Amino acid sequence: MMALKAAARAGLDMLTGPLSVIITIYLAGGRDGDLDNYAKAILDGCNTTRARRGIWKDDRQVMTLLAKKVFVAEKKDERTEIAVSQRERSEPKNEKTKST
């Protein structure tokens, strides 16, 4: 993944704490697939492992996720865009959220 290599070269710190992630996948030529599978592969690919440093320690840090597919006319326009931001705080553990 080019983003991981670029982050390492730039000396960026690994993200800690709760995160929000937006994934946009641009596909051409009637290629289609399960959006949740694309998102899972991308999130797992950004994890830190013993073999390499990732964007974050673990995708369990992702508290908000928006994933979308966009169809483009030509194969040359296919790409994936990932936007990551750190959240100010997460919900306290073991505290139930009320639905209204």
Q: Which two tokens stand for residue 32?
A: 């289609």
pLDDT digits (tens, 9 = 90+) for 27-59: 997 778 899 999 999 999 999 888 878 888 899
| Residue pointed to by tokens 């995708």 | 59
Query: What residue numbers bound the domain in which 67 lies?
Result: 17-86
pLDDT digits (tens, 9 = 90+) for 50-84: 887 888 889 999 999 999 999 999 999 999 999 99
- What span, in angstroms and rounded, lies between the C-alpha atoms of 7 and 5? 5
For residue 99, tell me if it sits in a domain: no
For residue 91, tell me if it sits in a domain: no
For residue 5, tell me if it sits in a domain: no
Confidence of residue 2 (pLDDT cuts 50, 70, 90): low
Predicted structure pTM score:
0.76
pLDDT at 88: 75
